[in-house]
Amino acid sequence: MLAKLIDKHIKNQQVKQLVAMVIAVTCLYFVSKFMLMGSGFYPHPQLKDILLVAVLIIIFNSSKKLFYFLLLPFVIIHALYAPVGLVFGPPSYQYIASVFATDLLESKEFLSQLPLKNYLVSVAIVALILLFRAYTQKFHLHFYKNKVFLIVTTVFVLFDNSPFKFVQETYTAGMKVKNELDRLNNLTIESEWGTSALTEAKYDDYVLIIGESGRKDYHHAYGYPSENTPFMSSANGVLIDGLTAGGTNTIASLKLMLTKPDTKNWEGNYGLNLVDLIKSAGIKTYWLSNQGYLGEYDTPISAIANKSDEKIFLKSGDSLNTNISDFKLLPKFTQIIEQPAAGKRFIVVHLYASHPITCDRLDDYPKMFNDDTLPKKYFNVNCYVSSIKKTDEVLKRIYQELVKNSEKTDRTFSMVYFSDHGLAHHIENDNIVIHNSSGKSKRHYDIPLFKISSDDTERKEYQVFKSGLNFTDGIANWVGIRNPKLNSQADLFSNQADKDDYGLREIINKIEAADDPAVVIPLKE
């Protein structure tokens, strides 16, 4: 429309060319800037970077085939990622792994967290590049002279810089995940533990409860003002303040915490996984999960889960994309522990807990605060702290079932709860989003750890550093398993700090994001 007006009302050819050139350059500038911002690598791109991308666009716009077969798809890829990149940063192993592991419900919930303006940026990228193309063609705007020179020079300059860096990182992360999943799908995971000794197994039933997205400082047991952990805050047992997660999403963290990991390359060692370790000591294993299950080896975590003697996934098949409450796990758990058992048992309960969007976890549980009495920006915080209270209720009910079973059968028990990772904040205007973003918060790694046993008569709280990379060793010590490959000194529940964290704290300290402590919901006096 604007091009027609220029043609109609501006008679001077030079002026017409000048106006069209200004519009085209403006489009070029903003499409370059938005692409860099949307990639996640350049939240505040410098003019140098914008100009380099602009030169690249000019070069590929010189040919119809180059534009439609190379440049346009390249721009569209950036546009599709832009809503995510503007909030969460560049593509990484953690985000690519999440795509591989997610179901439609999780995808919908994830995308709905993103601000509307992010999607407008995505639309703008495509619209601006098409508008730039239209103006350069209609008004014969040739921004190039020596095409060969410009192509060679620009590609050389940009190859390890914007925007090729986006492509490189995406490809590297994608191939890393693909290779890992190929390894899980094409090879049988053979246990490398050998035979383990069960020398100090104090209890009959061991229950490991894995939380989801539970950041430590949002728990009342760790100082959050709202009383959302009445069970964990008062029960006899051991509360550890200082456990760090192995990563910032479920796969990235648990592949390191539920295996004896390669601490040099930071890779999970599936031949030395926790389930096989427990089985090597002659203990029957169970895996009860409210996480999605696509197939035997859809994720590294399901690959570990499937090593269990018995496994139950609430979300599989037709129910994969439905929201199922963690309370639904309780009858299944009761069925397991009520089964007659002569030997020892190890039961993993994998919760959905506080997975974003946390409001969707509260269909059957009340919020702690009335949204109508709170400022709008605290809506998501209210859901998050309430979801933690719901998880605390789940822990309480599991404990009560264990007590009830112990009274009937005299089977002793010990129960451990931890979360896979925490979350971070994105605060904008009148909205606080609590999300799973890598590199946005040092507190993302801070997770709760609590143990309670049938013979506990007192409460202990230790503020001491424990590395998530020692988790499998620590669980082995808890159960009383001895194996030459284990670090027998690793104790999750002592008041002694881990001697080696294998660079975990160094990684956390390198995060440049500003500190984002837990957001406290203001109460009326």
- Domains of the chain, by residue range, sit at 2-181, 193-509
Cβ atoms of 350 and 210 closer than 8 Å: yes
Tokens of 344: 């020892």
d(CA 394, CA 288): 14
Range of weakest confidence among 315-324, 341-350, 405-414: 315-324
User: Which pTM does this prediction carry?
Assistant: 0.78
pLDDT of 154 strictly over 70: no
pLDDT band with cut points at 50, 70 and 90 for residue 251: confident
Indicate the average pLDDT of the chain. Answer: 87
pLDDT of 498 strictly over 60: yes
In sequence order, what are the residues at sequence separation of 6 or more whose Cβ sits closer than 8 angstroms to the Cβ of residue 266? 256, 502
Cβ atoms of 425 and 433 closer than 8 Å: yes
d(CA 254, CA 348): 13
The residue type of 130 is: L
Neighbours of 497 (CB within 10 A): 13
Mean pLDDT, residues 460-467 taken together? 97
> What does the pLDDT read at residue 139?
83
Distances (CA, A) of 239 to 127, 157, 351: 55, 53, 19
- Which residue, among 38, 52, 45, has the nearest Cα to 124 in the 3D structure? 38
Q: 193-509 — its CATH code?
A: 3.40.720.10
The listed range with the strongest mean pLDDT (40-49, 244-253, 473-482) is 473-482
What distance separates the 2 farthest-apart alpha carbons in the chain? 97
Question: Could you read off the pLDDT of 322-332 as tens digits, one per residue?
Answer: 789 999 999 99
> What does the pLDDT read at residue 402?
98
C-alpha torsion sign, points 425, 428, 431, 436: negative
Question: Could you read off the pLDDT of 255-301 as tens digits, one per residue?
Answer: 999 999 999 888 899 999 999 999 999 999 999 999 875 544 447 78
Question: Could you read off the pLDDT of 79-105 as tens digits, one per residue?
Answer: 999 988 888 788 876 666 655 555 556
For every residue of 444-467, DSSP letters joined together read: GGB--EEEEETT--SEEEEEEEEE
- Which residue, among 314, 300, 323, 195, has the nearest Cα to 251 in the 3D structure? 300
Mean pLDDT, residues 54-73 taken together? 90
Question: In this predicted model, which residue has the larger pLDDT, 176 or 297?
Answer: 176
d(CA 221, CA 230): 8
d(CA 174, CA 95): 9
Task: Output 516-520 pairs: Cβ under 8 A, ≥24 positions apart.
Answer: 516/424, 516/425, 516/427, 516/440, 516/441, 516/443, 517/217, 517/443, 518/215, 518/217, 518/218, 518/224, 519/378, 519/381, 519/425, 519/427, 519/432, 520/224, 520/225, 520/226
Ranges assigned E (strand) in 182-336: 197-198, 205-211, 237-244, 284-293, 310-316
Question: Could you read off the pLDDT of 57-66 as tens digits, one per residue?
Answer: 988 998 899 9
pLDDT band with cut points at 50, 70 and 90 for residue 474: very high
Neighbours of 123 (CB within 10 A): 12
d(CA 281, CA 290): 27
CA atoms within 13 A on the CB side of 280: 23
- Which residue, among 417, 342, 353, 344, has the nearest Cα to 385 in the 3D structure? 353
